[in-house]
Structure 1
């Protein structure tokens, strides 16, 4: 399959409805989770133009930077620290409208204003998180949560 994307404009819901089947196509038949995470990041960055899109994976009781698209990022995050560490600890998706108001926020970039973090859960254990940052305040909502959780569930970890 050609690895071309059709970028859709319009409502956020329409964009998810367009990109999800394309991501399914990108992932079809590929069993390497690193390759799949990399393609998911690239596809979402292209479609939505977010500031930062990436994965952190649990290694030796820390979140360690994985595949991503965007500027350089924090390499390691402790459990319970920042939005990513809290999503890991709580094993639930966190949407933060203003990261500057989040207690203990880790500012990998001062340009990041809002964030959504989705835990990666395998066999009931959080094995990492998927993190998206925006330069806009209150950028993420339930539409993003639903769409991104569906996309993350397409990846075999």
Structure 2
């Protein structure tokens, strides 16, 4: 039995140590905003924050995290959609299909937390999540708009 701090709540987790954190979050904690995309940490759909660092949860196992680490999922960014990223995403109609957007938002929040006014080049370098619809220009614009709102 493991204990994890997910979105400020301690969760008792009954899963094998090698279970990917993604599945712990979705199946054990019941937080389904974090998506499965590729399972090899390439696409970023499963991005969460661990102690403030954008992390691909499909590549982290239950054994890799402790109760002392703070795991934050898309559900905790701002339930009332008041975070600047969420406002910008809605204002600019950033998503197309939307499947990758929870991971995109988590990566964008981490970027803005570390660099509140990134250049286009810095955004392109940091935002390595894949969008199958190709909305990269809108994602970049959303990040720039969120930086203005912050």
TM bucket normalised to smaller: under 0.3
Larger RCO: Structure 1 or Structure 2 (Cα < 8 Å, ≥ 6 residues apart)? 2
TM-score, with normalisation over the residues of structure 2? 0.26
Q: Select the structure that is richer in strand.
A: 1
